[in-house]
Structure formats: structure tokens, C-alpha cells
Structure 1
């Protein structure tokens, strides 16, 4: 490991240095030819195609004007520049994020992507840049009720989740008694809890903390002690070792030089 001990709270979820170990536009025609690395084709095309769902604050969020903002958006702007390329955002969904990357519709997939072994079977991951475990968010008055998986997994509890990603997998794997509701719109899922149409949503700590700031009345439940350990990283095309090596080295240098932490602080503090 490159450094030190993760701290608690916001610094816990932004513990990037502790982990490094050593779209609205149509995709451009930059798919690598057989045997070529994305490292070469991106530089040749001067375009980096980036798949993202764009519905996950503070990582990647598409604004009403179509532009994207967030931690990964800022980082991808710098990463693209390092290759002499401009970022081109390819809007997708969580269910289609991995299939779109595997099909060559983009060169990299970002936006708050959890590292999982299922995804690892079909893609490479960059070195993880954040600890970001599964954390419940609920109405503030109900926080004491939902301190554990067992406390949430009760017939009277209405658990809501978004489709196609690790949040859905966690809900289906852990909540067998609770009433499960699939909600297709990640942006409005928090309003369902405020409106008392659902009780709990289990997501990553960073999103839970961000949304409790944006949605008065909602509170993250013990974000410094998540229900399940998790890491965030970028998804990369499988078997492209040269591209992964470049991504990891760029990320390491951003962390070592302090630019990475400044980006994190801008969105998390």
C-alpha cells in the first residue's frame, strides 16, 4: 500500500491514498483494432469515450442542460488531457454499463462504480481510489431502527433500490423478509423515502452522506461503519494491460501530488 490509515466519516469514504496499491454525445469511431491498446487508439483519435449512468452524486451527475459534473467528471477531464484527448460522455444505465464497455462503446466506465468479482470476470478495474461501503439512508426519525441488516430485514420495512448495480444485488441477497421495491429512477429514489412510500435505501456511504445534505429529513445510518465493505474504481476493457497500467500510474501520481485529494475535498467537504 502507498499510505497509511483511513480515517472516519468523510475522510473514510475519501480514503483514496490508503487504497492504491501498486453522456449525451454519440460515440466516436475509436474502437481499437485487434491487438491494439486503448492507450494508442485514444491518443490517435484525441477522444476518450467515457460511459457513465450520470445519476450518482457526487461521482457523476447529468445536469438539466446535459452537462456532467462530479468527482469522476473532474478526474476524467484531467485524465483525458494527459492523453491529449477530449472527454466524450456516453450516457448509459447501471444495467448496461458493463455490457456497453464490453461491446466497445466506450474506453472507460466511471461514475461511482463498485468493485465486484462479477464485474471483474468481464472487465479490468483500475486501482481502487475510495473505500465506500454499503450504508443505509432513511428518514432521520427512523435512524435508530435501522442499525443492522437484521433490523432492516423485517416484514414491516419497505426497502427500495435501483436496478442493475451493486445496490440491487445487496438488497436481494440480504433482505429476505423486508418488502422490496425496485425503483427505476436513482435520482428520485430519495424522494420516495421522504414521501413515506419507502423506508430504507442501501447505497454507498458517499452517496448517503451527499444526499442527506441535499434532502433535509434524510440521514445516513453510520456511514463510517458500513454494512458491507466496498471499494470504488474505474472499469476498463478486459485484457488491455497497457491501458490499465497507464490509468493506475496516472491515478497514483494524482494522489501523490495532492490533486486527487483536492478534487475529493471539492465535492465531499
Structure 2
């Protein structure tokens, strides 16, 4: 009798939990339980996506306000899965973490050139990677032979230019203690400044460098195939949005499986690593 009562109470408790949970059926027929972030976005009809808009070819904002890039297209796939529109919200590398965690919330997630790091994962959520990444350099094509290793850059007569607040500046400060480091506010202007002789080297990523050497013959990336670091780029969002994180990871997984991600790599001239 006692066993029966315990079983009955357990069944009642389970039934109560199910009745109060928000349950939906996903596109793959899986049951998704308790998705407050997704519900909020779908009720709004728009997903708010933070992006810097200064990082060709991952995220760039044209003068007319339109956005394009690898990350922007991934954002489009996320919005498509949710069945909502996109509103892009400007952010910057120095304010990215503050904007992600702000109250009231500035946007639902951030995308475009954001490297997955343990430091970010300690205070925020990061998706699975969708693009291989690593630190490299841009320099003038006429001086490409001059820079064959990190030690060739870390010299007092080498002017290294970086954008503020991101991992490029952090890498330069940690690894180039002898070089002259110049911080320039607008990341998208640095390649042209290097080509014009305003600085000698730009610390950048293997995801960004190919675009500039393809569009400006004055530039070279001599260490493109030997990056200083290795990592991945993912989607960043505030803690507590585990339902949205799971959906984003599902989208990335699907894009890998159906070839969409490979097509984007080919479109933007990037190496496919999955």
C-alpha cells in the first residue's frame, strides 16, 4: 500500500510539472520544454542581433544601413528557424560584453567575428563554432618577406595597428612588447592605413585577412597559413538563454550537415574546417 501511494504521488507530481511546463514540438519532432527566450522572440516577431558591422567579410554595415557578411547569413538562418524578422543592433568591440549582459537587454544575441574563449564562457553563453579562426597579420605586399615569424614583428621599428577593445588588441599587448602599438578606432579603416604606410602591420584574423588581400593588391598576409593562435568563431549571448543557445547550436549543426556552411565558406573565400 505504501509503495502504491508513493507511485501515485510521483505520478501526480510529474503530471503537475508537465502541465505547467511550456512544451512545443521542434521541426525534428523533438519535444522542447520551457523556452522563455524563444517564446519572447517569437511573440515580438523580431530577433534583435548585435553586430559590430566593421569586420569584412563576417559582418559589415554599408553607408545605407544594410548589413552583409558570413555572420549575417548565419543570423539569417537563425531567424528563419525561429520564423521571425531580424533587427540588427550596432555594438562595438570595447562594449560587446557590456551590451550582451546589459539591463534592459540590448539584443538577444551577438554575431560576427566573435571568438569563442573560456573568459567569455565564464560570464556569457557561446554557441558551437561555425568558422575556424586564428591570429595573423596584414602588411604591405612589398614587405611580405620581412615578416616570417612573430619575432620579426616584435621590434621597436615596427608599427602595429589594432582596433580597440577586442582580442586583437589583447594579443598585441601580450605578445608584442617591443613593437610600437597604435590603436585605431575603426577596424575597417586599418587595412587601407597599412597599405598607405600609416603603420606597418595589422593584427587580424585568418577570417578577415583573405578578403583584404583579394581586394587590395597593395596588401599581403604572409603568415595566413601559419596563424599564431587557433580557435573558432561562434554566437554570443547572455546567460539564462539556454533554450536559444540550443536552437542556435541546432542551426549550426544543420548547416554543417546539409552543406550550407560549406557553401558560405566558398562564397567568402574561407577555409572549410568541418
TM above 0.5, one fold?
A: yes
Q: CA deviation at 1:43?
A: 1.4
Alignment partner of 2:209: what SS?
A: helix
Aligned residue in 2 for 1:43: 42
Map of 1:192 onto structure 2: 193
Structure 2, gaps ≥5 residues long: 1-33
Q: Aligned residue for 1:216?
A: 217
Aligned equivalents of 1:38, 1:56: Cα separation in 2: 28
Q: Could you say which residue in structure 2 is the equivalent of 1:173?
A: 174
Say which one has the larger Rg. Answer: 2
Contact kept, 8 Å, 1:46 with 1:83, in 2: the verdict is: no
1:250 matched to 2:251: yes
**CA deviation map 1:23-66 (0-9, x unaligned):** xxxxxxxxxxxx96322211121110000010001101001111
Who is 1:160 aligned against?
A: 161
Structure 1 contact 157–179 (Cα < 8 Å) conserved: yes
String of CA shifts for 1:204-238, please: whole Å, max 9, x gaps: 11211111112221011221210111211110221
Unaligned 5+ runs, structure 1: 1-34
Whole-angstrom distance in 2 between the partners of 1:37 and 1:228: 37
Over residues 187-208 of structure 1, what are the superposed CA-to-partner deviations in whole Å (9 max), with x where a residue is unaligned? 1111111111100011111211
Name whichever of 166-175 and 70-79 sits farther off: 70-79
1:21 is matched with: none
Large movers: runs of 4+ above 2 Å? none
The secondary structure found in structure 2 opposite 1:136 is strand
2:242, 2:52 → 1: CA distance?
25
Match of 2:6 in 1: none
SS in 2 for 1:181: strand
CA RMSD of aligned residues (A): 1.4
Query: What is the DSSP-based 3-state SS (H/G/I as helix, E as strand, rest coil) of the residue aligned with 1:231?
Result: strand
Q: Is structure 2 residue 81 aligned with structure 1 residue 74?
A: no
- Cα offset for 1:267? 1.8
Name the SS of the counterpart of 2:139 in structure 1.
strand
Contact 2:77 2:251 in 1 (8 A): no
- Which residue matches 1:237? 238
Deviates more, 1:84-93 or 1:229-238: 229-238
Once the two structures are superposed, the pairs formed by residues 58-137 of structure 1 within 5 Å of their partners are 58-103=57-102, 104-137=105-138
Deviation per CA, 1:91-124: give whole Å up to 9, x if none. 1111112211111201110111111222222211
Q: How many residues align?
A: 235
Moved more, 239-248 or 127-136: 239-248
CA deviation after TM superposition for structure 1 residue 127, in Å: 0.2
In the alignment, structure 1 residue 204 sits paired with structure 2 residue 205: yes
- Structure 2: distance between partners of 1:124 and 1:209: 29
For 2:39 and 2:238, the matched residues in 1 are separated by 14
